[in-house]
Amino acid sequence: MKTRNIAMFDSNKEEAEDFIKGLEQSTGLTWKALVYTANKGRKNKLGNAVRYFKYFAFPFTVFLHRKEYDNVIGWQAFYGLLYAFYCRLFHVKKVNTLLIKNFTYKPKKGLTGKIYFRFMNYIVKSKYVDVFVCTSQTFCDYCAKVFDEPSDRFVFLPFGVNDFTKKVNMTQPASNDYILSLGRSNRDWDFLIDSMSETEYPVRIVCDELHKDKLPKNIKVYNDVWGNKSFEFIKNCKFMIIPIMDGKIGSGETVLLQTMSFSKPIIITKPSCLADDYVSDGETGLIVAKNKDELISAVSRLWNDTELYDRIAHNCRKQYEEKHSLLSYGKYVGNTLISKECLKK
């Protein structure tokens, strides 16, 4: 018998396994991961065009087979959003429960921003999406206001990721000799670089879209680090800094939880969704205002205070194991479908 419950992934089956297990344990149903990788090819215009084509094409194939499924989850949020877009565009009968995981919306400027908002609003206000899952309550409240929708359409669930320590050789000691900042979306790189340029602390920034000339000697930027290589960077860093640009936008959760899985402390700027919902100041990280002196002071504390460093490192791993595994996240999502009384059995 064909599985009638699916989750659309933009990763690989190995990464989907624990999430699917959590879904099955909480819902009592059999689920299948449909995996299709589209997020590759940012190096040039042709690569970007192919990437966007894949993003639109895969959900359309699922749309064509929609009557075969009872419950659909967009693990890759845009797969779920585009599936809902096709349903509304062609005015088809609603035949599935649809949950969008890790929903995010970041306003864009100018005409592009207006078109993007209308596109997202068209989807959000459709009848085809039952639940939008966000990674922060702050962001849930923001989305309800921006799209003028009832607040209960947006549900905060603590995010979950794989145990990335399994991706690297943990028997080889970590170097712990630099500070790392990693990511792409919603990062205030100018603040970080400006602040740390006045120090001698070694800083490594991993971002394929950040291009800076004439950096100070203590700061290096890497544009070609992906996959397991990025996990090696996390393993060998002393701690992570995540400088958030817009505090209302949910972003940085994956990097933060990857870092926690490696027992590495985090410095996070506020205001931010991460500071509101994921980091306890002094226990699982240090929270600082976007003030140069505050950031440098926090860096000095983690670099020099062994007792503080060890306590936070221990707590990071503990919080990851107890709240942020993919198995736990799958259970959170399954229980949400049940509590919303929209799960089809």
Q: Cα-flanking dihedrals φ and ψ of residue 325, to 5°?
A: -75, 160
Report pLDDT for 231: 95
CB-count burial class (<10 Å; 0-12, 13-18, 19+) for 298 = buried
164-323 in CATH: which number? 3.40.50.2000
Share of the chain above pLDDT 90, in %: 86
Banded model confidence at residue 3, pLDDT cuts 50, 70, 90: confident
**Does the bond joining 216 to the residue before it have cis omega, within 30 degrees of 0?**
no
Q: Is the predicted pLDDT of residue 252 greater than 70, yes or no?
A: yes
Mean pLDDT of the chain: 94
How far apart CA 10 and CA 26 sit, in angstroms, is 23
End-to-end CA distance of the chain: 15
Rounded Cα distance between 157 and 8, Å, is 18
Task: Determine which helix (DSSP H) or strand (DSSP E) holds 295, and give its type and residue range.
Answer: helix 292-304
Q: 41 pLDDT exceeds 60? A: no
As annotated, the residues of the chain forming the CATH 3.40.50.2000 domain(s) are: 5-160+325-339, 164-323
Coil/strand/helix, residue 256: helix
CB neighbour list of residue 339: distance below 8 Å, 6 or more residues apart:
none
Answer yes or no: pTM beyond 0.75: yes
Buried b (16+ CB within 10 A) or exposed e, 184-197: ebbbbbebbbebbe
> Helix (H, G, I), strand (E, B), or coil: what is residue 213?
coil
DSSP class of residue 215 equals -
Classify domain 5-160+325-339 at the CATH topology level.
Answer: Rossmann fold (3.40.50)
Cα distances from 232 to residues 181, 187, 206, 302, in angstroms, run 13, 21, 12, 20
C-alpha–C-alpha distance, residues 272 and 283, integer Å: 17
Find out whether 70 and 41 touch, Cβ atoms under 8 Å. Answer: no
Helix, strand and coil percent figures for the chain, each rounded to 5: 45, 15, 40
Question: Contact 20/30 with Cβ under 8 angstroms?
Answer: no
Q: What is d(CA 202, CA 221) in angstroms, rounded to the nearest whole number?
A: 11
Residue found under tokens 């996070």: 268
List 219's β-bridge partners, or say none.
203
Tell me the pLDDT tens digit for each residue of 185-228: 899 999 999 999 989 999 999 999 999 988 999 999 999 998 88
Return the structure tokens found at 250: 């949910």
* 246-260, 286-300, 301-315: segment of lowest average pLDDT: 246-260
Q: Residue 42 above 60 pLDDT? A: no
Q: State pLDDT tens for residues 68-99.
A: 999 999 999 999 999 999 999 999 999 999 99
Long-range CB contacts for residues 202-208, cutoff 8 Å, separation at least 24: 202/177, 202/178, 203/178, 203/179, 203/241, 204/178, 204/179, 204/180, 204/233, 204/237, 205/180, 205/181, 206/180, 206/181, 206/182, 206/230, 206/233, 207/182, 207/183, 208/42, 208/184
